[in-house]
Amino acid sequence: MDEMRPDAPAIVSEREARDLAVMALDAAAWSAEKGERPDGVVRCDAGWFRRVELPRVRDAVERVLMGRHPDHGLDLLLEVGALDALLPEVKAMVGFGDGEWRHKDVWKHTKQVVLQAVPRTEVRWAALLHDIGKVKTRRIEANGDVHFFGHAEVGASMFDRMQRRMPIFTGEEALSRSVRFLILHHLRASAYEPGWTDSAVRRFALEMGDGLCDLLDLSRADITTKRPEKKKRGLDAISELARRVRAIQEMDARVPPLPKGLGTAISARFGVPPSPALGDLMKVLKDRVDEGILEAQRDNDYYLDYLAAESLVPTK
C-alpha cells in the first residue's frame, strides 16, 4: 500500500480534505485485511470525514469489520480520528474501565468480540455496537460493584439516534433492523439456565424469530473471559440452548400442538357448535402453545379449564 503523509497539512482544499479522509479510511481497512500497520498514517480533522459520501464510509468500516484482523483496523480508525468524527458512540468506549473501576475495558472487550464474531455483516456490526449503552448506564455501588442495568435498551436507542445523525444503512433497512435487534437482545441467550422449561425455550425461540442464529453467534462472541473454564461454561450453555431450540422445533413440526378431539370437547362443555367461533377458540389455544403460555399435547381438560379461567368462551 502507498505510504500516507505523516502530517496532514494545516490548510487544505475541500477536495484534498476528502481525499485524505478517504486515504485514512482505506488505510484502516487495509490494516484489518492484512494485519499490518501502514506507514505514514495521517490523523484527519473531523470535518474531513464528513465530506466523504456515506456509502464510501460504510464500505470502509465494513471492510474493517469483515477483515481477518478487525482489531487492527479499529485501532487505526481511532488513530486517524474517524471514530471521533463518524462513530462517537464507539469512541466513548475507548478507555472506559479496566483499572479505575472493577469492570473490563469496554473498548478492548468490543474489539475482541468483533474479532471472535462470525464474519457476517449484521453480526460484526452488532459486535461493534452491542455495548455502546454501557457508557450511559454505569452505576457504581458503595461496595465498588459495577452494574450496567438497561444498557442493551439504551444501546438500541442510541443506535436509532446514530441512524438519524448518520444514516449509514440507507437502502439496507433489513440490515439496520437486524443490527438494532441484536443490540437490544444481545443479553438474552446468556440468561439461559438449564432449568428453563420447554415452554420457556419455545417462547425464547419464538421471540427471537429469524434473528435467533445471529443472536446465538453474537452471544458466543461476547464471551471474552480469560478464564478457560468460565469460557467453556458459557459456550456450553449457549450450545445447549441451541440444541434444545432445535429439538423443540423438530418436535413441534412432527406433533400437532393440540390433542385430537379438542374441538368436540369444547362443543360438549361450552355448547359451541362447529362454527367460525369454534375455530377462533382453537386458534387462540394454538397461539398460546406457540407462545409458550400453554403446554402442547395435554389432555382436553387442561385446555378447557384455561378457556373457562380466561373467560374466552363467548356467552350466549
Sequence-distant (6+) residues with CB within 8 A of 219 are 186, 188, 189, 190, 238
Q: Which residue has the cell 442510541?
A: 158
Q: pTM for the complete prediction?
A: 0.81
Give mean pLDDT, residues 288-314. 90
pLDDT band at residue 253, thresholds of 50, 70 and 90?
confident
Helices 173-185/121-129 angle, 10° precision:
50
What confidence score (pLDDT) does residue 141 get? 82
76 has a pLDDT exceeding 90: yes
Sequence-distant (6+) residues with CB within 8 A of 125 are 62, 65, 175, 179
7 has a pLDDT exceeding 90: no
The CA distances from residue 79 to 53, 85, 121, 229, 235, in Å, are 21, 12, 23, 35, 33
Give mean pLDDT, residues 272-281. 92
Beta strands in 158-284 (DSSP E): none
Percentage of residues of the chain with pLDDT beyond 70? 94
Query: What is the rounded CA–CA span in Å between residue 18 and residue 188?
Result: 42
Percentage of residues of the chain with pLDDT beyond 90? 78
Q: What are the cell numbers at 35?
A: 494485519
pLDDT band at residue 29, thresholds of 50, 70 and 90?
very high
Query: What is the rounded CA–CA span in Å between residue 275 and residue 260?
Result: 17
160 has a pLDDT exceeding 50: yes
- Rounded to the nearest 5°, which phi and psi values hold at 299? -70, 160
Give mean pLDDT, residues 261-278. 92
